[in-house]
Amino acid sequence: MQVQLKLTDAANQENYYFIKALKKYYRKPEIETEKILELKLSEVLKKNFIDNGNFLKEIVGDEGKTERVDNLFSDHFVNGKDILFDFSYCDTLESVTYFNSEITDTGNGEEKALTVEYIIEIGEISKDLYQYVISGNKMLNSKDTPFSEPVLIHTNIENGIGILGAYNTYRFVSRFQTNYFPDYFAQ
């Protein structure tokens, strides 16, 4: 499955975005399992051409940077332009089991039928929520270093601790039937 989604960034205002993908397996009607899919911004955004040649490097950053949170970015380098997201997924739709050159299981039974669902979310988040996530990530990355300076977690609550933020999510959902039951379900 290949999907390309386009986001048009609002010009002349600060915007912050995140992307997320899930894969769910259903067997009439309950969820068997749910898995968060790893997304790399460098892969998802690779077809974008922006005037600034370092667009992708600036968004994705260096591997060693701790200020960046995976799949969270600002519109600083794409202000007012379209952003193309390219997603590509592979899955097994059908399987057959052989033993001594004979088919032992075609996997076509009703009890093996699964529905696979891919969910892609692209969301816009408030500046306060963005700063909270970034500062929380800095704190988590610094806690294993004994001589690191304390990290102040962003808050927008006066005389208290916490965050009041907002986000808006756009979802793309794709479903298909399969008779293939991945091995990691058997555990």
Amino acid at the residue 52: N
pLDDT digits (tens, 9 = 90+) for 83-115: 888 888 877 666 677 778 777 765 555 556 778
**Residue 37, pLDDT score:** 87
Res. 66 pLDDT band, cuts 50 70 90: very low
> Each residue of 15-56: pLDDT tens digit?
899 889 998 888 777 777 888 888 877 778 777 765 555 455
Q: What do you get for the CA distance between the two ends of the chain, in Å?
A: 27
- Using the structure block, give the residue that is written with the tokens 């057959």: 96
Asked if 116 contacts 87 with a C-beta cutoff of 8 angstroms, the reply is: no
CA 40-42-46 angle, 5° bins: 130
pTM higher than 0.85, yes or no? Answer: no
Place of tokens 């205002």: 13
Q: Give domain limits for the chain.
A: 2-126+166-182
